[in-house]
Every structure is written in C-alpha cells, then in structure tokens.
Amino acid sequence: MHRNHLFGIGIVLAFLLGAAAMWGYLAQRSVIAGDAFLSDMFDDQFFQRSRSPFEEMDRIHERMNRAFGSHSSFPDFDRWFDNHYGDFPLADIRSEENRDYLFYVLDIGGKDVVNIQVKTAEGYVSITADLKASSQYMSSSTKIDQRFPIPANVDPESVHIEQSDDEIRVRFTKIR
C-alpha cells in the first residue's frame, strides 16, 4: 500500500510540474504574440500614415486599457513601448508640423539637458541625453534613450535638435 501511495504522489507531482511548465510556455507565447500584435499595429507605416503618431498611440493605449482593463491578458503596452522606442513616457512625446518642418517633441519638464546626441540610421532617429534636475535640497538624473521611425515625408539627413527649458525638439525638413 505504501508503494502505491508513493506512486500516486509521483504521478500528481509529475502532472503539476507538467502543468506549470505548460503555463509558463503559454504565458511566454502570450507575451510574444502580444508583442507581435503591437509591433504589427504600430509599424513604420503607422508613423508614416499618422499626423500625430504619439498622440494616436496614447489614445489607442487608453482605449485598450478601458476596454480590456490594465490587468487583463492583453499585451503589456508599456513594456512593449519601452522595448521598441525607449523608456521616455509616451504621454510626454508629441509630434508637430508646420509648412517646412516636422518635429518630434519630448517634454522634459524644466530639466537641464546634458550630453545630447542624435543619430539617424536605417530609417530611425535615435536620441540619447542625460537630464539633470536640482534644487536646494536634492538632485536627480534621468537618461533618455529613445528611438523612433523617421517619417516618410522628411529628409532624414536634415535632423536637428532644438532645446528649451521644457522640451527637446527633433526637427526634420519636409521634402516637397
């Protein structure tokens, strides 16, 4: 009897280990499928089609949260955005344009910009910088490492950085 009891416990443990492995596999597949879904939705063509891609992404993200809830099995948008474009908050990025230029604008909230670099390669613009903030009682430092698709209607070699107290503006000259 004792041997049968151990055999039964062994079968139950094997089943539980198998179920845990399957759960981990399915959870990973869900993350991969979710990433693929978001990558397909917000591809380079999305940036080319949309006049305000960051505002549009933010609106879609808010709608997904309202529709599916933030704790659903729906893809983790914030993790996906950080992995694809950098960890600067989406809500602090916008695009603007006028007759001659298109801008990607990053709201830096009055921080000092140190060591800013901008590069273009393979259809993307990359921005790296250190942001410093200090007061009488404390100081803080933040690193920006962002990457965005270059819009289709601009000269990629015309990229220029403009800074003010509250924002970094990445300017592209439009192609006519």
Domain ranges of the chain: 42-173
Q: Using CA atoms, how far apart are residues 32 and 13, in angstroms rounded to an integer?
A: 28
Residue 74 in this model has a pLDDT that exceeds 80: no
Phi, psi of 150 (to 5 degrees): -80, 130
Residue 161 CB neighbour total at 10 angstroms: 14
DSSP assigned state of 43: S
Q: Is the dihedral of CA 144, 142, 69, 75 positive or negative?
A: positive
**What's the pLDDT band for 13 if we cut at 50, 70, 90?**
very low
CATH of domain 42-173: 2.60.40.790
Per-residue pLDDT tens over the stretch 106-156: 888 878 888 888 898 888 888 888 888 888 888 888 888 888 888 888 898
pLDDT of residue 21: 44
Q: Average model confidence (pLDDT) for the chain? A: 74
Q: What is the DSSP code string of 15-36?
A: HHHHHHHHHHHHHHHHHHHHHH
pLDDT of residue 47: 75
- The structure's pTM equals 0.63
**What's the pLDDT band for 64 if we cut at 50, 70, 90?**
confident
